[in-house]
Amino acid sequence: MRFSLPLGVIIGAQVVTCVSAQAVLWGQCGGQGWTGPTTCSEGVCTVSNPYYSQCLPGTNTATSVPPPSSTTTSTAISTASTTSSASTAASSTSSSASPSGTVLNISPQWAAAYAKASPAVAKMSLQDKVNLATGVGWENGHCVGNTPAVSSIGFPGLCLEDSPVGVRDSDLVSVFPAAINVAATFNRTLMNQRGVAMGQEFKGKGVNVALGPMMNLMRASAAGRNWEGFGGDPYLSGEGAFETITGMQSSGVQATAKHYINNEQEHFRETSTSNVDDRTQHELYALPFLRSVQANVAAVMCSYNQINSSFACENNKMLTGVLKQEYGFQGYVMSDWWATHSTLGINAGLDMTMPGDISASSGTTYFGANLTSAVNAGSVTQARINDMATRILAAWYLLGQDSGYPAVNFDAWNNAAAFNQHINVQSTHGTLIRQIDAASTVLLKNTNGALPLKAPKTIAIVGNGAANSSRGANGYTDRGGDDGVLGLGWGSGTANFPYLISPLDAITSRAATDGTVVSSSTSDTDLTGAKTAATGKDVAFVFITADSGEGYITVEGNAGDRNSLSAWHSGDALVAAVAAANKNTVVVVNSVGPINMEAWVSNTNVTAIVSIGVPGQEAGHGLVDVLYGAYNPSGRLPYTIGKSINDYSAQVVFNQAGAITPIPYTEGLFIDYRHFDQAAITPRFEFGFGLSYTTFSYSGLTISGSTAGGTRQSGPGSSLDPWLHTPVVTVSFSIHNNGTVAGNEVPQLYLTFPASANFAPKNLKGFDSVFVGAGAQTTVTMQLSRFDFSTWNVVTQRWEVVTGTTTISIGASSRDIRLTGTIAN
Ligand SMILES: *[C@@H]1O[C@H](CO)[C@@H](O)[C@H](O)[C@H]1NC(C)=O
Ligand SMILES: *[C@@H]1O[C@H](CO)[C@@H](O)[C@H](O)[C@H]1NC(C)=O
Ligand SMILES: *[C@@H]1O[C@H](CO)[C@@H](O)[C@H](O)[C@H]1NC(C)=O
Ligand SMILES: *[C@@H]1O[C@H](CO)[C@@H](O)[C@H](O)[C@H]1NC(C)=O
Ligand SMILES: *[C@@H]1O[C@H](CO)[C@@H](O)[C@H](O)[C@H]1NC(C)=O
Ligand SMILES: *[C@@H]1O[C@H](CO)[C@@H](O)[C@H](O)[C@H]1NC(C)=O
């Protein structure tokens, strides 16, 4: 379907007449390291920052570009007075803006929402429009973010609430497995069902806008918020984002794709610049956001950091050039909390400021009266303020929130206040959570038939990670403590546990049905107690943890990002103590991401290793289902586990360098397994790896179809071009379960492009989770689009199918390739 709608986006009138020249108009024309043309055939070459000059709408008068400065300064926008006339790059692009443009491939749902929003906006005063965009200020409403009501159109205002794992700051809610877990299922159905269930809970509490999913990539393995996202691969993250958003929004809540963009570590998140090249940006970091737009996401949250020395919330290239133009995003961009730095950031594409004030409870705002003055002075155009209002209102209509949506019924700042109705929104979601926990548990090692358990007479359980927290499940503010089983990492991406099932309780309860005697030692440091518990038992479980979170909380010296990849609390010593005493030691890794396992991974007494991630409230139950074989493990690593942190291509930058610390993404496309493959480094456990209690054989690969032919689009919205995204190649193969138990296999499709295209050796472009009965065989079909075969061409500024012979590999992991074929494009 193709829709053309009048939209108040900031694009020059000339865009409409030469829509086919989008590539040229939005192209790069200068910047540090740029070797291409420095003049624009359309528009004006405008210095966005030292790294990037871009052809932006305007009269083509520039003939040369000033040489980029090598000094890093704050952007012109952030220092501009809010009422000054067009003296910044951002405002000059809008001063000649046309109120209408054409965006291709708008979904029917958005088209219908715009049909409702546009007439409503026409009725609104400037004050009303400004109110729609301006949060009421920190702790001034019931939710973590709130916008005021607009009575002229019967708009009740919006409640915005964290987090990506469930409704934060409330009670009687579920705590879902973190995104890193649902990514490990490689199962779109579970991703979607989790989204549906979370969406129901947000709606039940009266939340209009859920602040998730989070889709920043695991670029640096120690980065604090990695567990909130979907791991180290852009395709897997994109699918996770797509399914989560589709699920959440099907329940009626607006989802928020965050954090846009390049917020891949916690240190200096407000005082750093992520310097990312255009191809890497498109093919890695922005890809989950494109998938979010394809899922009709209502909102996008811009991040704290700068990109090429320009704050994410006032980066014209990323907000307007890429998100709203290339991707045709129809919803609104909100700031991360206090990530707005100016009023004129609006001209770069920011639509809503959150929580509204310049700093917590400052009583001032860059929007509000400042925005009204800017519109009156003409430095923000009428077209732009109408566009902002239309986007915000359309998102509300998109989700049908104008009809029968529940009012907020909890107070995020005080769950004990009389206002709280204490509505229980958990439904039967605990069952789904347990299912996801089992399906996200990754079996990394299993020798001598250690697992599943076969009614052992005695079990030892060692380690604090097996137990309840000494303070109870919610005893640490925003889960900022590593004490007991880790259901989540810490920070704003959390929620209050209704309960948290510890492995100790779950195993003890299950063991009782076999008459098994369970002994335990739940200290991480009492090695004597650990040995005593483990000695002479049929099997000894040892639980180790690694935690991380958001940088506003420091836990055991870790300021958000992890200081190392070692297990916490001297976990290696605990494993060594247990393994020295028991020949059947099973290590359970309860961690936010990869840990270094080299100290014990090859110890022959360590017969099994199980990774449970951060599984939310049903932690112990999901684990028991795998340990006892009620669920045959099918989880796969959504990241690489290296033998050394130095084997990864990118590290957290821990040292400040100047007022704005540069974070150079010099590894480009080569993060996680892409780097290990490219640099021929053998990981301990590769991306996509995970064992089963059965074995599968693969056969009969067939490849049909072609990327040839068809007519492609150009112009705003053309990244959604059906020519790019319609499946054109079909890949089929058979999977035979040649073992003795039924289970799910996770076949993965990787593409290897012609060397000239400079891709990583393997690139994930398909996966499935397929149930196969014991002895049974099933046919798997995966489809590929031209987009899957494409690269972002930085010169033409569009997706181009890579020409030449591309290899299609089907594997049980990124390094366990079972079938290969080729296609000529
Ligand atoms: C950042 O700079 C690089 C290198 O010049 C460029 O390729 C990329 O497009 C720039 N991105 C932004 C958002 O300015
Ligand atoms: C307008 O913005 C400026 C910063 O540019 C700020 O100092 C001022 O307090 C704001 N005005 C209001 C009314 O919030
Ligand atoms: C863990 O906490 C739960 C909930 O409070 C409780 O029912 C259970 O008995 C505790 N387990 C242990 C071993 O104390
Ligand atoms: C394995 O366990 C046995 C005791 O069951 C112990 O004698 C042996 O030293 C252990 N081996 C290692 C490598 O820890
Ligand atoms: C099952 O298939 C795998 C993979 O092809 C193979 O390694 C294994 O030997 C087969 N097992 C049996 C029992 O045939
Ligand atoms: C996903 O998980 C469910 C539950 O374990 C399973 O039944 C199904 O086969 C899996 N795969 C897909 C594609 O749904």
What's the CA gap between 529 and 521, in Å, rounded?
6
Pair of tokens at residue 769: 């989770």
pLDDT given at position 11: 32
Ligand closest to CA 518: 3
> From the CB of 26, is ligand 1 less than 6 Å away?
no
Q: Please state whether the peptide bond connecting residue 754 to the residue before it is cis, i.e. omega within 30 degrees of 0.
A: no
> From the CB of 738, is ligand 5 less than 6 Å away?
yes
> From the CB of 318, is ligand 1 less than 6 Å away?
yes
What's the CA gap between 284 and 235, in Å, rounded?
8
pTM, rounded to two decimals: 0.91
| pLDDT over 70 percentage in the chain | 90
> What is the CA(771)–ligand 3 centre distance, in A?
35
pLDDT at 763 over 70: yes
> What is the CA(818)–ligand 5 centre distance, in A?
12
pLDDT at 436 over 60: yes
Q: For residue 77, name the pLDDT band (cuts at 50, 70, 90).
A: very low
- Cβ contacts of residue 438 below 8 Å, gap of 6+? 622, 625, 626, 630, 631, 633
Which residues on neighbouring strands pair with residue 150, listed in sequence order?
155
> What is the CA(217)–ligand 5 centre distance, in A?
35
Which atom of ligand 1 lies at the shortest distance from residue 34's CA?
5
> What is the CA(471)–ligand 3 centre distance, in A?
11
The stretch 330-355 carries a mean pLDDT of: 97
What's the CA gap between 545 and 123, in Å, rounded?
56
pLDDT at 783 over 50: yes
pLDDT at 486 over 80: yes
Residue whose Cα lies nearest atom 14 of ligand 6: it is 189
Which atom of ligand 5 lies at the shortest distance from residue 695's CA?
1
Q: For residue 16, name the pLDDT band (cuts at 50, 70, 90).
A: very low
For 33, 64, 322, 476, the CA distances from 316, given in Å and listed in that order, are 20, 21, 9, 40
- Tens digit of each residue's pLDDT (9 = 90 or more) over 241-292: 999 999 999 999 999 999 999 999 999 999 999 999 999 999 999 999 999 9
Q: Give the range among 70-84, 163-177, 670-684 with minimum mean pLDDT.
A: 70-84
* Best residue for ligand 1 mutational test, from 72, 260, 278, 322 (most atoms within 8 Å of Cβ): 278
- Residue 725, Cβ density class (10 Å: 0-12 exposed, 13-18 middle, ≥19 buried): middle
* Best residue for ligand 6 mutational test, from 431, 744, 780 (most atoms within 8 Å of Cβ): 744
What's the CA gap between 55 and 47, in Å, rounded?
9
> What is the CA(580)–ligand 3 centre distance, in A?
30
What's the CA gap between 288 and 96, in Å, rounded?
32
CB of 330 closer than 8 Å to CB of 114: yes
Indicate the SS3 state at residue 746.
coil
Is 478 assigned a catalytic role? no
Choice among 128, 233, 278, 336 that is catalytic: 336
What's the CA gap between 135 and 145, in Å, rounded?
7
- Residue 735, Cβ density class (10 Å: 0-12 exposed, 13-18 middle, ≥19 buried): buried
pLDDT given at position 24: 52
Which among 613, 524, 239, 208 has a CA at the least distance from the CA of 395?
Answer: 208
Q: For residue 98, name the pLDDT band (cuts at 50, 70, 90).
A: very low
What's the CA gap between 481 and 502, in Å, rounded?
16
pLDDT at 129 over 90: yes
> From the CB of 317, is ligand 1 less than 6 Å away?
yes
Pair of tokens at residue 753: 């492009």
How far apart, in Å, do the first and last CA atoms of the chain sit? 26
pLDDT given at position 717: 94
pLDDT given at position 26: 57
- Tens digit of each residue's pLDDT (9 = 90 or more) over 671-713: 999 999 999 999 999 999 999 999 999 999 999 999 999 999 9
- Cite the DSSP H helix spans in 173-302: 179-184, 188-204, 234-250, 278-280, 287-294
- Tens digit of each residue's pLDDT (9 = 90 or more) over 306-327: 999 999 999 999 999 999 999 9
Which residues on neighbouring strands pair with residue 664, listed in sequence order?
275
Which among 232, 346, 252 has a CA at the least distance from the CA of 296?
Answer: 252
Q: For residue 14, name the pLDDT band (cuts at 50, 70, 90).
A: very low
For 293, 783, 818, 822, the CA distances from 809, given in Å and listed in that order, are 28, 13, 7, 8
- Tens digit of each residue's pLDDT (9 = 90 or more) over 111-127: 999 999 999 999 999 99
Other CB atoms within 10 Å distance of the CB of residue 59: 10
> From the CB of 164, is ligand 2 less than 6 Å away?
no
Residue whose Cα lies nearest atom 2 of ligand 4: it is 583
Residue whose Cα lies nearest atom 9 of ligand 6: it is 771
